[in-house]
Amino acid sequence: MKTGGEDDKKIREEVSRRASLKNIYVSYISKEYDPENSSVSNEILRIIEEEGFDTVVIGARGKTLREDLTIGSTALSILINAPVNIILIR
């Protein structure tokens, strides 16, 4: 799995630049986890609580086995369980 990389850096810089024009604070977090003891959604929910975010923007790819769901299980879990506002981008 590719993480970080030059393309990722360019995207983050451009998003940060555009957000700063609107006085919006943007934070990027990368974290490794043990899939035997946790899940991606649980780790994201833990970070949301630990960092004290008031709103989280997250992408939803819709990679699920159910055709009637238009978002994936990770995004759905975060949306349902998050203690803050979640904005899903599809």
Is the CATH number 3.40.50.620 carried by domain 34-90?
A: yes
Tokens linked to 66:
């159910």
Q: Indicate the pTM of the whole model.
A: 0.71
CA distances from 34 to 38, 81, 89 (A): 6, 20, 26
Q: Phi first, then psi: give them for residue 51, nearest 5 degrees.
A: -85, -15
The residue that leads in pLDDT, 62 or 78, is 78
What confidence tens digit (pLDDT) does each residue in 50-77 have? 998 889 988 877 666 666 667 778 888 9
| Domain ranges (residues) in the chain | 1-30, 34-90
Three-class SS of residue 30? Answer: coil
